[in-house]
Amino acid sequence: MQQTFSPVRRYRKNTSGRDFVVGDLHGCFAPLRRELELRQYDPSRDRLFAVGDLVDRGFESPSVLEVVRRYGIQSVRGNHEDIIVRWHRHGGKDSSVRCNGGEWLLDMAQDTQSVNDIVSYMAALPYAIEIETDFGLIGIVHANVPLQSWSQMVRALEQENRNGPIRRKVIWDRSRWKSRKATGWASLRRAAAQLLQRLASGWREPGGHIDGVAAVVVGHTPSRKPMVRANVINVDTGLVYGGDLTLLHLDEIPMLLSRATREKPVPSRSKRYPAGSGA
């Protein structure tokens, strides 16, 4: 499972089987096994991608490498993987791991080889994945694309260090799924002035279309069912909080986007997750 780190990993079109992407698993691997069996998933021809946050909070987290090997999972880095890498390699505190559901890893501290193997795997995960399909390029990141185009974000990811602002936003940003409310004329005036400033500098509303890709699939912000905003699809349906597993066949994406443009948007009711935590 040894891989060299690259901030962006690219995949050619799958000409022999199917491509799937799964939402945040958080150590809940049994539902994934059942769903893949139902779909008659064949790792010799099918491919399974993930939006990150493979571990933490779920009791099966210690078997993450076994599951990755079994199904050939290709994942981007989530904020939980990033927290673990920073803790182990860059002097992070145990509390940062513990408060995000990583007690399982702290309990393995005596098994240094297993911990090193897990951290090495996570340190090699990219921030973004690109997949060629018949209907265009599909992007995968953990949380959001914070720039107006996919290519701009890719360039930033390839140039920044681990503390770069785009790398941080790609794994942490929830602005696309938040609804903003301003109260009072003063608040409205401030919001309008900030919006004009941002638009003048080329900024786009967080919920806007991402140029250069047919769609982007993300996770990080749990909700009861998959959410679509512009050409971004959120497949984190809160599995570890009692929600359903979302396993999206990439061929379903054009239908999802088409349906979203026809339907009137409704406020999403996101599942609760611990305040200040990395969901």
pLDDT score at 270? 42
- Residue 38 or 186, more confident: 38
For domain 8-178+210-262, give its CATH number from 3.60.21.10, 3.40.50.2300, 1.10.10.10, 2.60.200.20. 3.60.21.10
Strand order in the sheet with 19-22: 74-75, 47-50, 19-22, 247-249
pLDDT score at 260? 82
What is the greatest pairwise CA distance in the chain?
A: 60
- DSSP, collapsed to helix, strand or coil, labels residue 225 as coil
- Own/partner contacts of 165-169, CB < 8 Å, gap of 24 or more, are 167/7, 167/127, 169/143, 169/144
pLDDT score at 271? 45
State pLDDT tens for residues 52-95: 999 999 999 999 999 999 999 999 999 999 999 999 999 888 99
Q: How many helices (H) and strands (E) does the chain have?
A: 10, 10
- DSSP, collapsed to helix, strand or coil, labels residue 47 as strand
Cα–Cα distance, 213 to 195 (Å, whole number): 25
The helix (H) or strand (E) run that includes residue 129 is strand 128-133
pLDDT score at 3? 79
Count CB atoms within 10 A of the CB of residue 62: 16
Q: Strand pairing partners for 149?
A: 211
pLDDT score at 266? 45
State pLDDT tens for residues 134-149: 999 999 999 999 999 9
Question: Region 6-33: what's the mean pLDDT?
Answer: 98
Which pLDDT band holds residue 197 (cuts at 50, 70, 90)?
Answer: low
Nearest to 219 by CA among 29, 11, 50, 85: 50
Cα–Cα distance, 216 to 7 (Å, whole number): 16
Count CB atoms within 10 A of the CB of residue 40: 8
Whether 269 contacts 253, CB under 8 Å: no
- Beta strands, E only, 134-214: 136-140
Count CB atoms within 10 A of the CB of residue 87: 21
Q: Strand pairing partners for 233?
A: 217, 228
Q: Cα dist. 51→69, 176, 266 in Å?
A: 17, 16, 24
Cα–Cα distance, 6 to 125 (Å, whole number): 8
Q: What is the DSSP letter of 6?
A: -
Chain centroid to CA 70: 21
Cα–Cα distance, 157 to 22 (Å, whole number): 23
Q: How many CA atoms lie within 13 A of 35 on its CB side?
A: 19
**Whether pLDDT at 101 is above 50:** yes
Which pLDDT band holds residue 195 (cuts at 50, 70, 90)?
Answer: very low
